[in-house]
């Protein structure tokens, strides 16, 4: 199922809609100006299953895999997920505040969920992403820019929460994304600016980030 093309409902056409209950209102008068990129795989290092969508929609069977016990009760979301084959799934309308960044700050502004759009890439920190994902991400960013004229920055979770998060990680090619979008390089975070941190489990997000 693809989302309808109503330009005012916050759901992008061409995306598959899987509504998440994990969202809330943005602060009054706040327009999204930042995109935060993440990576996720459930279970870690496994791709293509239904588990990410079930996690974000609060329908994950915690007993379906031993790893799921370590994230039991997690209530999180993102606005979008880009699968390994480039499919784009939307979970939260753009005007709503998805629960993806947790404790975070960018360019002097705390609580990045308030003013950001969260995009998950199906993948594992430190490993490459697919050409289909980069192409889909560039298209999605351009579509977001058309809808959100204040948009002016793209950063990784590792940049907005340095020392605590490290996704999308060293396997993400920022220079390639910049070339694909044609946007100014100054809009993008440097993947070298994130402080190193200890090992992070894929899908290790903050609980009840709303």
Q: What tokens does 104 get?
A: 């975070």
CB neighbour class for 66 (10 Å; exposed up to 12, middle 13-18, buried from 19): exposed
How many angstroms separate the Cα of 50 from the Cα of each of 37, 60, 101, 122? Answer: 20, 9, 22, 12
Identify whether 168 is preceded by a cis peptide bond (ω within 30 of 0). Answer: yes
Examine the residue annotation and report whether 122 is marked as an active-site residue of this protein.
no
Sheet arrangement for strand 80-82 = 16-17, 88-90, 80-82, 116-122, 34-40, 153-156
* Percent of the chain as helix, strand, coil, to the nearest 5: 25, 20, 60
3-state secondary structure of 49: coil
Q: Which of 57, 75, 84 is CA-nearest to residue 210?
A: 75
Residues in the chain, overall count: 210
Catalytic residue, from 120, 122, 125, 158: name it. 120
> Which positions are annotated as active-site residues?
120
């Amino acid at each position: 199922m693809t989302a309808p093309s109503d330009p005012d409902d916050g759901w992008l056409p061409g995306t598959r809609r899987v509504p998440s209950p994990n969202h809330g209102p943005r602060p009054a008068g706040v327009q999204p100006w930042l995109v935060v990129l993440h990576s996720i795989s459930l279970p870690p290092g496994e791709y293509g299953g239904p588990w990410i969508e079930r996690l974000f929609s609060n329908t994950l069977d915690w007993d379906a895999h031993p790893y799921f016990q370590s994230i039991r009760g997690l209530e999180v979301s993102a606005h979008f997920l880009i699968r390994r084959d480039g499919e784009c799934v939307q979970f939260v309308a753009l005007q709503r505040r998805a629960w993806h960044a947790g404790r975070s700050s960018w360019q002097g502004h705390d609580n990045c969920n308030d003013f950001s759009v969260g995009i998950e890439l199906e993948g594992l920190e430190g490993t490459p992403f697919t050409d289909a994902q980069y192409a889909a991400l560039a298209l999605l960013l351009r579509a977001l820019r058309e809808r959100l004229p204040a948009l002016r920055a793209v950063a990784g979770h590792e940049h907005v929460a340095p020392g605590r998060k490290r996704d999308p990680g060293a396997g993400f090619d920022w220079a390639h994304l910049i070339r694909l979008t044609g946007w100014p390089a100054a809009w993008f975070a440097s993947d070298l600016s994130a402080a190193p941190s200890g090992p992070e489990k894929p899908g290790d997000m903050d609980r009840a980030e709303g």
